[in-house]
Amino acid sequence: MKGLLIKDLCNLRQIAKQTLIVLAVLAAWCLFLNNSQIFSMMMIIYCMMLIFTAMSYDEMANFDKYALTLPVTRRDLVKTKYALLLILFAVGILVGLLGEGVFYLTRGGGGISLTEHAISLFSVACLYLMAFAVLMPFIFRLGMEKARLLLALIFVIAFGVIYGGVILVRNMGIEITDQLVAGVIAAGLVLAVAGFFLSYLISVNIVQKKEW
């Protein structure tokens, strides 16, 4: 598994310059808009979408078929991609937090505390993780190009559910307190982790039955 992961990271190194350009453009755009939250949230989604690049490389080269001739199991193929996604997720959060911190120290928080920035970032991060957890089994089942089309639909549904939940809470007259927000974030984190693990099990089952 370690070798597979190194292979994916080496493939992604080919687009390092492109990634730095994207980072610079996003930073400049957010400075212009005076909004650091856009930068942090976009960095998470951009980093996580690099999993598409890694899986596209494998698909174009028919790597999975070759990998099965090596001392590698089908479970290893799935586990590597989920491990890579978690690494990209962590990098996106780290870069996002650094960007939030630099922006906060140089431009001020715009009336929002650094803690509130971090809470907002982790809330969106949980949403992204759940969305990709839903998407990954489709990638293994349908292939990269077909599954890519589902990403926008998944995000629309996810944001729709969250927006509907907020409207429902407000219509029921429930006061949105700090404790309620903390509880929702904690529940979201638990659901994201559970959903990610369930997604992994589903993907393993799909790949175990797949024929190349």
For CA atoms 167, 117, 148, 64, the dihedral sign is negative
Residue 7: domain span? 2-209
How far lies 22's CA from each of 6, 19, 35, 39, 44, in Å? 23, 5, 17, 11, 12
pLDDT per residue as tens, the chain (212 positions): 788 888 888 888 888 888 888 888 888 887 777 777 778 888 888 888 899 889 988 888 888 888 878 888 899 999 999 999 999 999 988 888 888 777 777 766 555 555 666 667 777 788 888 888 988 999 998 888 777 777 777 767 766 766 666 566 567 766 656 666 667 677 778 888 899 999 999 999 999 988 76
What's the domain count of the chain?
Answer: 1
Measured distance CA(76)–CA(123) in Å, rounded: 30
DSSP assignment string, 69-117: TSS--HHHHHHHHHHHHHHHHHHHHHHHHHHHHHHHHHH--TT--HHHH
What's the CA gap between 43 and 39, in Å, rounded? 6
Contact (Cβ atoms closer than 8 angstroms) between residue 43 and residue 19: no
Q: For residue 107, what pLDDT is reported?
A: 66
At residue 114, the pLDDT reads 59
DSSP letter for 174, please: -
Residue 51 CA to residue 82 CA, distance in Å, equals 9
